[in-house]
Amino acid sequence: MSRSQPAIIVHGGAVSRHSYSLSAWRASVEDAARAGWAVLEKSGGTALDAVEAAIRSMESNPVCNAGIGSCLTSDGRVEMDAIIMNGSNLDVGAVACVNSVENPVTLARKVMEKTDHVLLVGEGANQFAAAEQTGIPTVSKETLITEQRKSELEKFRQFRKAVKADFNVQIDGGGHDTVGAVALDSSGNLAAGTSTGGITGKLPGRVGDVPIVGCGVYADNSIGAASTTGHGESIAKVTLARQALWFVEAGRSPDEAAKDALDGMLSRVRGRGGIIIISKDARIGFNCSTDDMAWAYCNAREGLKSGTNCHSSK
């Protein structure tokens, strides 16, 4: 059996307006790609472990809208969603509206590995996190809230501007979007994961695309793996991750598949966002329909590459 060439790509969100440091945003995805690549470089390092490591890096970085530094609901609370998927057997684990852990992606993986379920939400997910079987340390709700997110919520309250069907409509300082990672390991196994704090000023209990299979992620060893970012309601309507992989399955390159899926979403529901993809044969692609998307990828041939522009330059 031939060995695959390992690769990982991560994103830190796709946005159309921002008030934050692009250099810090770019550094956050570079750190995440390095964390995932360090796993893949080890003998036996798995795509699933690499994806989890990369996303944990971003969840623990307050620059990112996931884990610590998540956006706040209209009543000033943190409600986080995350998902992880194993391309070898299509196993999935996801959580929604959790507020008791720093790394929701790890909790999502525990749902996949230790329960018969795909998705746990709200208090049920928080109770599962606190169970001894998970081994996940819980944190106070205050630990997850940053001054930046408080400021963004105050701006939201002042201007009363919510994200509409067109993802270009955002309040100033609206923060970053969903984070995600996709990896291929030397055994040819693919994995994908996505994690988010949602959108500033969302209604309590709102769940976007992230924890929904085929929307926030999809991974299948026979095709490829994808993670999405952008306006969650739009992504859910068109099942964006699965749509992009259908295009890959039909013979399009990962770059072409990402662009075509995003163009379709914009045309059909006026939604904007971004996608990262790795095909089963280790081709990397990404694209977005917003002004900026932080991305970074790493493989043995090219080393570490990163940027905040939307379109693949490979």
- Residues annotated catalytic, as ranges: 178
Cα separation, 54 vs 314, in Å, equals 22
* Residue 277, Cβ density class (10 Å: 0-12 exposed, 13-18 middle, ≥19 buried): buried
Q: The tokens of 224 are what? A: 């490829």
In contact, 201 and 177? CB cutoff 8 Å:
no
Q: Which two tokens stand for residue 105?
A: 């992606």
**Angle at which helices 104-114 and 47-59 pack, to 10 degrees?**
150
Q: Which residues, in sequence order, are CB contacts of 295 under 8 Å at separation 6+?
A: 9, 10, 11, 12, 29, 276, 286, 306, 307, 308
Expressed in angstroms, the distance from the first to the final Cα of the chain is 29
Phi, psi (deg, nearest 5) at residue 246 = -60, -40
Q: Which residues of 190-222 are buried (b: 16+ CB within 10 A; e: fewer)?
A: bbbbbbbbbbbbbeeebbbbbbbbbbbbbbbbe
Q: Which two tokens stand for residue 65?
A: 């809208």
What φ, ψ does residue 30 adopt, rounded to 5°? Answer: -65, -45
* Separation of CA 219 from chain center: 13
Decide if 200 contacts 149 (C-beta within 8 A).
yes
